[in-house]
Chains A and B, each alone.
Chain A
Amino acid sequence: MAGAGPGRPAPLGQTPSQTLGPFFGMLLGRPGDANMADESVAGERIRVTGVVFDGHGAPIEDGLVEVWQANSAGRYRHPVDDRDDLPLLDGFTGFGRCPTDHPTGSWSVVTLRPGQVPDGRGGLQAPHLNLVLQARGMLDPVFTRVYFDDELSNDDDLVLAGVPEQRRHTLVASRGDDVDGLATFHLDLHVQGEHETVFFDV
C-alpha cells in the first residue's frame, strides 16, 4: 500500500462510521443548502417536507437530512451518468441538505420534481429522491427513498416492488395543499417503531 511506513499502518478495510453528534450544524446544512433549485432552473419546482421521529414518537430535533436526485430530465450530475442526450441544468447539482428543526424535528427542501432514471433491467424507475439521514445517537447513516403519490409509474418501480407491500407506504410522500405556489409533498421519517421507515442496504 502506497504511503505505508513506520507509525502509519496501511488501511486494510473501511473506516468505521461514527455519529455526527449535536454540533455538525456549524458546518453541514447551512442556510441555503436546502434550496436546491431557484426559479431560474428548468423544471417543476416542488417542496418536500416531513418530520423525523424516534422510537418513542418524539421528534429528532438535531438530525440531518441529505437529498440526492436526478434533475427534471432524469439525469444525475455525476461522471457515471454519461447520457449526453439528456441535459444537465445550470444551477442544479441534485444535492441538498437540511438540518431538522429544533424542537419540531421538521425538515424541508425546495427542489425539482425528478425525472425517471433507468433501473438497469430495461425499464425506468419512478421519480424518487435518495435520502441519507443521520443524527446524534445514530452511529451509522440510514438510506431511504422518497417517491411521490401522484406518480403512476410507482406501480412499475422495481425497487418499490422489492419492499414488502405493507411497508411501501413509508417511502411515498403525499401531496397536500400547495405552499407559496409550489406543489408540496409530505413524508415523515420514523427511525424506529411501528411505522418504521424502510431503510436500504445501499
Chain B
Amino acid sequence: MSADGPMLPRLHAREHGDHPPFRYPDYKSTAARSPDQDLVSILATLSEATGPGPAWSEVSPEDADLTTNAGTGGVAIGARIIVTGRVLDAAGNGVPDTLVEIWQANAAGRYAHWRETEYDAPLDPNFLGVGQCHTDADGTYRFLTIRPGPYPWGNHHNAWRPAHIHLSLMGPSLGSRLVTQLYFDGDPMLHLDPIYCSAPPQSRHRMLAHYDHEVTEADWATGWRFDIVLAGAEATPVEQEEA
C-alpha cells in the first residue's frame, strides 16, 4: 500500500475485437439496445481493480447437479452430460474459488421461466435449468446437467437457437465480468444463429464445448470440455494450507 492507496494488479483490457459488436443487424434486438457513442476511457482505479467476484463467491451456495436440484426427489429427463473446464485469467492462470452460474433450457428446448409461453414443448417438473458451483484451486469447475434442446425464437422466419448453456462469471475484477453461452462442437445449426455468429470468426470457436472421452463416465454421462478466459485482473492464487 502506498500514499495513493493499495497497489493495483495488472489489468488486461477487454479485447473488443474478440467480442461481438454492440450492434449486429442480423440480431434485430441489438438495433435500439446498442450505444451510439464510443466508450469513454477510464483511469484504472481501485474501483476497476476490485469487483464482486471474491465476496459474492463467499455467500453463494454450491448447486452443481442440475439433474436433481429441482428437489422433487425425481430425476430430470434427457441425455446426462458432464460439463467441465477451467476458468482462466487473460494470462492463462486458473481463477480459483470463483462462482460459475449457469442457466439453460431443458431437453425439449423449454425454459422454466414465466416468459416462455409461445413454444409448445413440455416442461420437465424435475428440471429447473439453473445451477452454480465454485472453481477449485486450479480454476476447474464441473456441472452435471441435461443436454439442452434447440428452440425457436422470433428474430426471423424459422429462426432457431442452437442448443446452448448460459454461463455467468464475475472473475477477479470489475472488468472480468462475463456472460457468455456454451455451444456444442459439431452442431449444424451454429452458422444459422446470429447470436453465435455475432462473435468474430477468429474467436467464436472459443464458445464451443468439445467432446472429451476422458471426461465421459462409463454407464453414466458423456463429457464435454469448455474453458473460459476472462479479461480484467490476473487471478490471485489460493493460499495453500500447511500440510
Within 8 Å by CB of A117, from B33, B45, B90, lies B45
Known: A14-B18, A159-B42. Contact between A80 and B33, CB under 8 A?
A: no
Name the B residues within 8 Å of A68 (CB-CB).
47, 50-52, 174
Q: Does A138 contact B (CB under 8 A)?
A: yes
Q: Does B129 contact A (CB under 8 A)?
A: yes
**Count of CB-CB pairs between chains A and B under 8 Å:** 276
Contact of A15 with B225 in the complex, beta carbons under 8 Å: no
Once the chains are docked, how many angstroms separate the CA of A143 from the CA of B179? 14
Contact of A23 with B116 in the complex, beta carbons under 8 Å: yes
Contact of B24 with A192 in the complex, beta carbons under 8 Å: no
Once the chains are docked, how many angstroms separate the CA of A40 from the CA of B128? 34
In the assembled complex, the CB of A17 is this many whole angstroms from the nearest CB of chain B, namely 5
Known: A119-B45, A139-B30, A193-B36. Contact between A16 and B168, CB under 8 A?
A: no
Known: A13-B15, A15-B207, A159-B45. Contact between A80 and B20, CB under 8 A?
A: no
Q: Does A101 contact B (CB under 8 A)?
A: no
In the assembled complex, the CB of A122 is this many whole angstroms from the nearest CB of chain B, namely 6
Q: Does B44 contact A (CB under 8 A)?
A: yes
Q: Which of chain B's residues has its CB closest to A140's CB? A: B19
Contact of B47 with A201 in the complex, beta carbons under 8 Å: no
11 new A-B contacts at CB < 8 Å, known A7-B213, A80-B50, A200-B42: A13-B229, A15-B228, A23-B166, A24-B168, A25-B113, A66-B177, A77-B55, A83-B1, A93-B58, A117-B45, A120-B43
